[in-house]
Amino acid sequence: MAEQIDCGIHGMQPLTFACIHICEGLISGTTPGFVCYPEAGEAYPMSWCEGCEATTEALGDRWSEEASTRAEFKMLCANCYLEARDLARDADRLRIH
């Protein structure tokens, strides 16, 4: 069973991770984009915004301490994750590789 988180809005949900910029966008109802590289069968892959993706591209497509510091990954419940993903989809800023 996936790890769970008790969300103040959605109750007990599967635990996911997204960069702080996605989390901040979710709070304001906007999107900085949503990028992820899911592995087979992965329901909620770690996600990051277009700005974090640009940072990794500038570093030669590698996650580094600099990229991780910029991303400052935060925990989200699965429903919050899906809401953030859908905000990006609706703004045509969703990139799933």
DSSP conformational letter for 8: T
Tokens of 22: 């996605």
Reported confidence tier of residue 1, pLDDT bands at 50, 70, 90: low
Residue pLDDT, tens place only, 45-97:
999 999 999 988 888 767 778 888 889 999 999 999 999 999 999 999 999 98
User: What would the mean pLDDT of 19-34 be, rounded to a whole number?
Assistant: 97
Q: In Å, what is the CA distance from 86 to each residue of 33, 51, 58, 62?
A: 10, 18, 27, 26
Residue-level pLDDT at 38: 94
**If 0-12 CB within 10 Å is exposed, 13-18 middle and 19+ buried, where does residue 68 land?**
middle
